[in-house]
Amino acid sequence: MSFKGVIEARCPRGCESFETEIWSFIHGRRSPELRETVQAGELNLLLCPGCGAAFFAEAAYVYFEPDDGIIAFVFPESHRAEDQRWRGKMRDDFAALKKVMGEKMPIDIEPEVFFGPDGLAELLEARDRLAEEVEVMAAVAGGLGLALYRVPPVFSRRQGVPALLPHTAGAQALTRAGLIAGLERLLAANDRLTTYRGFLDSLRASPKAGLPPGRF
């Protein structure tokens, strides 16, 4: 679930401070309307009751999307000058959060740190574009009779590997030859899947590189 906290906000124009609620933890999958607000770069955007000026709360929040392996600590832009200090706080807060969430926190997840709303908004936008491409790939692969191999979300995001890969091995274990053959058949049927084209090129360029781990 997502939840709020209360802060005393101060208008940058020097108006009288006021107490207000802001979002402090957002579970993207369970709060899609908040995810949209984060992606628009408008979370915790406040209006001064005195002068009507819009400004962002000077408070951090945590964004969590376990299905995509994302946990992000978003600090105010003004904190960027003390980058290392706030990264240290993030590490402490993340350790405490893992204890609280227990099994709900994927064991291989690593936090991202952003200063200001733009970095996380861009990350979510990129993930949505990739998700659309994966959806098209799955439909094309199904029509071609290709098997699908699931890649762990954290590995997918960190390494730039699509979370779902086509291959020709059927029920057998994934092989490099089967993966390359599956990608070639996929791209012959639809050459607009640019992420898959890039991954195929990287496989061909690095014949000794290991295969992506599977998701179980």
In Å, how far are 85, 111, 136, 140, 206 from 71, measured between CA atoms? Answer: 19, 5, 26, 31, 30
Point out the least confidently predicted range of 41-50, 54-63, 79-88, 206-215: 206-215
The percentage of the chain sitting over the pLDDT mark of 90, rounded to a whole number, equals 70
What is the pLDDT, as a whole number, of residue 107? 60
The Cβ of residue 32 has, within 10 Å, a number of other Cβ atoms equal to 10
Give residue-wise pLDDT tens across range 127-161.
999 999 999 999 999 999 999 999 988 888 888 88
Amino acid at site 13: R
pLDDT value of residue 98: 77
Longest alpha-carbon distance in the chain: 67
List the structure tokens of 165.
């890969």
Average pLDDT over residues 42-71: 93
Quote the pLDDT of residue 171: 60
Residue 33 confidence (pLDDT): 97
Tokens (6 digits) for 127 = 């993930």
- Confidence band for 62, pLDDT divided at 50, 70 and 90: very high
What pairs with residue 71 in β-bridges? 64
Which of helix, strand or coil describes residue 11? Answer: coil
Q: Is the pLDDT of residue 4 over 80?
A: yes
Decide the pairing of beta strands 61-65 and 70-75.
antiparallel
What is the residue-averaged pLDDT of the chain? Answer: 91
Distance CA(5)–CA(10), nearest Å, equals 16
Using the predicted structure, report yes or no on whether residue 199 has a pLDDT greater than 90: yes
Q: What is the DSSP string of 162-197?
A: -SEEEES-TTSPP-HHHHHHHHHHHHHH-TT-HHHH
Q: Residue 166: is its pLDDT beyond 90? A: yes
pLDDT, tens only, 100-126: 777 666 666 788 899 999 999 999 999
Cα dihedral angle (60, 65, 70, 76), rounded to 10 degrees? -10
